[in-house]
Amino acid sequence: MSAIGTEPDAFTFEDCRNRLREATQIVLGKERDFEAAVKNAADAEAFYRSQLAVKFAEYRAAGKGVEESTTLARADVSVHSRERDYRAGVLKLAAERLEDARDSRRSLWRLVEWARERDLIAARAQVGQQQSLGVTG
């Protein structure tokens, strides 16, 4: 049993191309997820603010003071505050997952470069052996 990636057929050109395509598709999917999370977070924030404004206006119209109206309005829309905070958390997680996918693709690219260098070294060694034996191709 040899070390990972040292087999002659490990990381062939076709294998590398397929792995990079798969990694690219994962990154593109994570980008779509991130875009959706941005939209959802923005929508949740906008809804929270609009509902807070409505409740605040209701309390002010009823004669409550500014500070009391603010406190009561926040209490009334706390469920929307929770949703806003949840969506912000999902957005942060989506950003981290996107960055992880990009990091994985970069790591894969480094492995592809390593495999290319490995193949070049092996080819040079084979040519050197052939030349030392007097074999021409």
- Between CA 35 and CA 40, with CA 38 as vertex, the angle to 5 degrees is 110
Cβ–Cβ < 8 Å for 104, 24: no
Is pLDDT of 1 > 70? no
Q: Is residue 124 part of a domain?
A: no
Q: Is residue 56 part of a domain?
A: yes
Q: Is residue 65 part of a domain?
A: yes
92-129 tens-digit pLDDT: 999 999 999 999 999 999 988 988 898 889 888 888 88
What pTM value is reported for the model?
Answer: 0.74
Q: Is residue 5 part of a domain?
A: no
126 vs 83: which has the higher pLDDT? 83
16-28 tens-digit pLDDT: 889 999 999 999 9
Give the domain range for residue 94.
14-101
* Domain count across the chain: 1
Is pLDDT of 48 > 50? yes
* Overall average pLDDT of the 43-47 stretch: 97
- How much is the pLDDT for 8? 56
Is pLDDT of 131 > 90? no
Q: Is residue 86 part of a domain?
A: yes
Q: Is residue 130 part of a domain?
A: no
Cβ–Cβ < 8 Å for 67, 31: no
Q: Is residue 114 part of a domain?
A: no
CA–CA gap between residue 122 and residue 34 (Å, rounded):
43
